[in-house]
């Protein structure tokens, strides 16, 4: 697979790689690997939520509001 970056993006990658003590190619490979792992976790969570919804497993709005409020306070 080949990926093309603008000169500005290449410059940014080079600066970040230098600060991280690596080369741009390895930096990009590591970033993409982390992204793919996170995307897989996100999609699994979405599928789990959809499956729960299909089974009729919902929480009440008040409980959701309380959970969100709790998460935002932490």
What local confidence, expressed as pLDDT, does residue 9 receive? 98
Q: CB 12: neighbour CB atoms within 10 A?
A: 13
Q: Give the pTM.
A: 0.70
Q: Residue 16: CB partners within 8 Å, gap ≥ 6?
A: 27
Distance CA 40, CA 62 (A): 30
Distance CA 45, CA 48 (A): 5
Residue 74 clears pLDDT 90, i.e. is over it: no
11-60 pLDDT tens trace: 999 999 999 999 999 999 999 999 999 999 999 999 999 999 999 988 88
């Amino acid at each position: 697979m080949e990926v093309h970056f603008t000169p500005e993006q290449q410059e940014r990658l080079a600066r970040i790689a230098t600060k991280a003590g690596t080369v741009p190619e390895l930096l990009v490979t590591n970033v993409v690997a982390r992204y793919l792992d996170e995307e897989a976790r996100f999609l699994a969570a979405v599928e789990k939520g959809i499956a729960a919804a299909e089974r009729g497993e919902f929480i009440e709005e008040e409980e959701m509001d309380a959970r969100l409020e709790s998460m935002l306070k932490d």
